[in-house]
Structure 1
Amino acid sequence: MSTEAQIDAALEAVVSAARHHRAALRAGAPEEQIWRAYVALNNATVRYDDLISEVYDEVTPWDCEYLEAESDAPEPGPDEPPLLPPLPEVPATDGGALMVSVRHRRDYVIPQPTRLLTLATEARRTSWAGVDATHAARPVTDIGEAVNELVQAGDGTVAALDAYPEDLVPGNGVLVVNAVRRPLTFADAPANGGPDPLLLGPDEAQLYRMDEEIVDEDTLDEPVVPAASLW
C-alpha cells in the first residue's frame, strides 16, 4: 500500500512537471524539448492518479496513459539535425556495475540577509545547546554558514530550506545525472591537489539533465538578483 508521503511526492512531481512544461512553452523551446516536457507531465499525472486510486479508490479528471519519450516524438525536418545526439559511452566499474553522480543545483534569493543570519543563529542555538554550549552561543555571521546551519538543523539536505520560503525564495534549478568512474572521496579534495569533484573526467559522461524554471506571474517584470546558489 502506498503511503501518504508517496502520494504527496507524486503530487509535487505533477506540479513540477507542469511548471517545466509551461517554462518550455514560454521560452519557445524546440518541439522535441516541449514533447519531452509533455511526456513527463503526462506520466507524473498517471502516477498520481494510480496512487490515489490505490489508496482512496478515487480518480483525477485526467484520462492519461503512460507514454514513452521516444514514441510519437516529432520528426526533424530534412535540414534539421537528429533530435537526440548519440549517447556517449558510459563508463562502468570493473565489476560491470554503473556508478552515477546525481547533482542538484537550486538558486535562492535572500530578501533580508540580516534576518537569515538571525534565523540561522537561533537554529544553531537550538541544535547545539545540548552538544556544545560554546558553539551554540556563537552567532552566525556569514550567509554561506547560515544556509549550512539551516540545512543541518533540518534533514541535512537542500530540502530543509523549504521551511523558509520567505527568507530563501527558490529560483531556477537543474538536476544532472552523470556516469562516473571514481567514487567521491575527501582525501583527494582540491585543497590537497585533487580534482574538482564537480567536474567530469575525460572518461566520464553526462547521462541526463533536467532544467527547473520557477515562474512567478506576479513578479515577471521585477529585476531579481540571486543571492546564493547551492549544489
Structure 2
Amino acid sequence: MSTEAQIDAALEAVVTAARRHRAVLQSGASEERIWRAYVALNNATVRYDDLISEVYDEVTPWDCEYLEADGDPESAPPAPIRPTGGVPVGDGAVMVSVRHRRDYVIPEPTRLLTLATEARRTSWAAVDSTHAARPVTDVGEAVNELVQAGDGTVAALDAYPEDLVPGNGVLVVNALHRPLTFAEAPASDGPDPLLLGPDEAQLYRMDEEIVDEDSIEEPVPAPRDPVPGSAARLW
C-alpha cells in the first residue's frame, strides 16, 4: 500500500472513530463502551499524526499518545453472571432468541482490506505490535476486524456504508428452552448455535427489504404475523 493510501486510510479511520465516539455518547452507553470508543478515537488520531509527521514533517493540533483499551480499571464492569442451565419459568420468565441476518455487497474488496488493516493497526498498536502489523488478507477477516474495532456488534458496520453496502435482511424471534453457553475451548464441529432444537419454535419474523438496490437506503421493515400454534401461545 502506498504512503498516500496509508494516510487516506488513517484519516478515514479518524473520521469513523469520531463518529462512533459521538454515537456511543448519544446512546447513553456504559462507561466501558465510552472508554473504548475514546481510546479508538485517540489511537486513530495518533496514527494519523504519526504519518503526517513522517511524510510531510508537519504536525496536527492533536497532542495524544497511544492508550490501551484496558488501561482504566475503574471503568471495567463486573463480570456478567452466565446461566449454566435452563431458565426457570415458574415466576413467568421465558427465554427468546433474537437473530438478525443482514446481507452486504462489497464494491471494492481491496479497499475494504485496506480499511480493516488500518483499523487493526490503530486498535492493536498499543496492545500487540506484532498483530497490529499483520495485514488483513480476506473479506471475512476484514469484517471481523471492523466489528471488533467498533463496539463489537454488527452496528459497527454502519460506519462503512460505501464499502459494505447493506442489502436485504431478516429478523426472527425464536422461543428457546436452553441458553447459549460456551465451553473454554468450543469445538468448531459442534452443534450450530443458530439452529433450533426439536422443542423450540420461531415466534415472529420481520423482513427488511432494500427497495432501491442502486442506492443506500434504510431497510423497509415488512412485519409478519406471529407464528401460529401452541408454541406461540406460550410466549
Contact 1:123 1:150 in 2 (8 A): yes
Match of residue 142, structure 2, among 133, 139, 146: 146
> What are the equivalent positions in structure 2 for 1:54-203 lying under 5 Å apart?
93-95=88-90, 96-187=92-183, 189=186, 191=188, 194-203=190-199
CA distance in 2 between counterparts of 1:140 and 1:191 reads 22
For residues 5-39 of structure 1, the C-alpha deviation after alignment (integer angstroms, 9 at most, x for no partner) is 58xxxxxxxxxxxxxxxxxxxxxxxxxxxxxxxxx
TM-score by length of 2: 0.51
Gaps of 5+ in 1: 7-90, 220-231
For 1:208, the equivalent position in structure 2 comes to: 204
One-letter amino acid matched to 1:115? R
CA distance in 2 between counterparts of 1:157 and 1:215 reads 25
Q: Which of structures 1 and 2 has the larger relative contact order (alpha carbons within 8 angstroms, sep 6+)?
A: 1
CA distance in 2 between counterparts of 1:184 and 1:217 reads 35
For residues 71-101 of structure 1, the C-alpha deviation after alignment (integer angstroms, 9 at most, x for no partner) is xxxxxxxxxxxxxxxxxxxx97454421111
Contact 2:117 2:135 in 1 (8 A): yes
Gaps of 5+ in 2: 1-24, 28-85, 216-235
CA distance in 1 between counterparts of 2:115 and 2:102 reads 20
One-letter amino acid matched to 2:136? V
Give, in angstroms, the shift of residue 190 of structure 1.
5.4
Give, in angstroms, the shift of residue 196 of structure 1.
1.1
> What are the equivalent positions in structure 2 for 1:20-39 lying under 5 Å apart?
none
What's the RMSD between the two structures over aligned residues?
2.3
Q: Secondary structure at the match of 2:170?
A: strand
- Aligned residue pairs: how many? 131
TM-score by length of 1: 0.52
Give, in angstroms, the shift of residue 179 of structure 1.
1.1
CA distance in 2 between counterparts of 1:124 and 1:208 reads 37
One-letter amino acid matched to 2:110? T
One-letter amino acid matched to 2:188? A
Q: Secondary structure at the match of 1:196?
A: coil
Q: Secondary structure at the match of 1:121?
A: helix
State the percentage of identical aligned residues.
85
Contact 2:87 2:179 in 1 (8 A): no
